[in-house]
Amino acid sequence: MSGVSSVSSSDFRQIAIRTEAGKAERLFRAAVSAFCSLTRPSRREIAQLEDLTLPLFDEVSVESRRYVAAALSECEYAPTALVRRLADEPVEIAAPLLTRSNALSDIDLIALIGRHGLPHARAIARRKELNPTIAALIRALERPTLVKTRPPETVTRLTPKPEPVAKADTDRPVSGEAAENARRRLRSMMRPAGDAADVNTFLGQPAYVRLRETALTGNAAFFQTALADALEIDFATARSVTGQSGYAALLAALRALDLSEDRAFLIAVAVHPGEFPHPQAIRLFLDRYRLLHREAALDKVRAWKAETLSRAIRDKAADTIGGERRDASNGDDASSSLKAS
């Protein structure tokens, strides 16, 4: 990076050790500057930078955050956690990262638009290689009146092509092809480049991977089976959770699994694409998800399990009573036969 003197990996590690009180501001800047000068930092050095800077984040000034955001926006191997934290700052700080950083994935960009709205969206719109679907969402946010005039059944027809809302679109219902196109775009956005990246990104998250993949197949039964396995509920309950008109029950299910908000959103939009016609709807989902306490979601899942158990007990009792009646009926028939003989 221009303007930063070259240092070695050992120099960076020495900076990370200097944690004297009262030097948070200088240490925060120096550590990032040294890191950005490394040609190809190791995973350990990336982790060291995050371990050093994230605890200091709330202690440093806005100016230091702005400086670090600008430095990391040009850094090829910027630490993801620190970049995400900076990107969540006001746009005056986050703009360089929103515009240039390759550490922000398409998933991150959607979540940021949902949380911060138009200011962040406008900065993201300046990215050189922006996913067409995200570009379409930003155009919708820029022109909310056009979104409001579209009938609810047609809003999922947002296409990645930069074109105005066509009159013909407002006269046609959503087709299966449009829904499949939406799933295809989501699938491409969710998968990192290369098989190895997919394994590394989701290592240790088998439940999420299965939910994600089954949701994107478009086969409701596959996703319902995966959800039932993840929550340890029966298939009928999982089917009722996803079969409702809105996403309220699914939101509780995903919160109970303690998924991050961006992962929860991607599953929700794959299962209920018609619920997210514009960025305001995305923001509403993220706000609702963030405000839903996990313990409340777990209580909801426990209630589902209790209802399943109660239903099983009722069914077994009904079967037992039916069996006793059949036995009694057979006994009466046998007695009648003996008397007749």
State mean pLDDT over 245-260: 91
Q: Given this model, what pLDDT does residue 84 score?
A: 92
Could you tell me which residue, 330 or 219, shows the higher pLDDT?
A: 219
Q: What is the pLDDT of residues 211-251, one digit of tens each?
A: 988 888 878 888 888 898 888 888 888 999 988 878 999 99
Q: To which residue do tokens 């190809």 refer? A: 40
Q: Given this model, what pLDDT does residue 7 score?
A: 54
Q: What is the pLDDT of residues 97-149, one digit of tens each?
A: 999 999 998 888 888 887 888 899 999 999 988 888 888 878 877 765 433 33
Question: Helices 235-243 and 248-256: crossing angle, nearest 10°?
Answer: 130
pLDDT at 2 over 50: no
Q: Where are the beta strands (DSSP E) in the chain?
A: none
Question: Please, what sign has the CA dihedral across residues 205, 210, 215, 217?
Answer: positive
Could you tell me which residue, 223 or 178, shows the higher pLDDT?
A: 223
Distances (CA, A) of 108 to 147, 191, 261: 23, 13, 10
Q: Given this model, what pLDDT does residue 105 score?
A: 86
Q: Given this model, what pLDDT does residue 8 score?
A: 55
Question: Helices 43-53 and 80-87: crossing angle, nearest 10°?
Answer: 40
CA distance linking residue 301 with residue 308, whole number of Å: 11
In the 3-class helix/strand/coil scheme, how is 265-329 assigned residue by residue? HHHHHHHCHHHCCCHHHHHHHHHHHHHCCHHHHHHHHHHHHHHHHHHHHHHHHHHHHHHHHHHHH
Phi/psi for 97 (5° steps) reads: -70, -40
pLDDT at 22 over 80: no
Q: Given this model, what pLDDT does residue 319 score?
A: 65
Parse the chain into domains and list their residue ranges. Answer: 204-341
Phi/psi for 132 (5° steps) reads: -55, -35
Residue 257 pLDDT grade (very low, low, confident, very high; cuts 50, 70, 90): very high
CA distance linking residue 54 with residue 139, whole number of Å: 34
State mean pLDDT over 169-197: 47
Q: Given this model, what pLDDT does residue 174 score?
A: 41
Q: What angle do CA 150, 155, 160 make, to 5 degrees?
A: 115
Least confident of 10-14, 244-248, 300-304: 10-14
Q: Given this model, what pLDDT does residue 303 score?
A: 87
Least confident of 30-44, 116-130, 174-188: 174-188
CA distance linking residue 15 with residue 33, whole number of Å: 10
State mean pLDDT over 287-316: 84
CA distance linking residue 50 with residue 178, whole number of Å: 42
The pair of structure tokens assigned to 263 is 């992962």
State mean pLDDT over 281-296: 90
State mean pLDDT over 245-265: 90
Could you tell me which residue, 165 or 106, shows the higher pLDDT?
A: 106
User: What is the tally of helices (H) and strands (E) in the chain?
Assistant: 19, 0
Q: Given this model, what pLDDT does residue 280 score?
A: 84
Q: What angle do CA 314, 318, 324 make, to 5 degrees?
A: 145
Q: Which DSSP symbol is given to 174? A: P
The H or E element containing residue 221 is helix 220-231
The H or E element containing residue 94 is helix 91-100
Please give the single-letter amino acid code of residue 60.
V
CA distance linking residue 341 with residue 335, whole number of Å: 10
Q: Share the mean pLDDT of the chain.
A: 75
- What's the predicted TM-score (pTM) here? 0.45
pLDDT at 275 over 80: yes
Q: Given this model, what pLDDT does residue 96 score?
A: 95
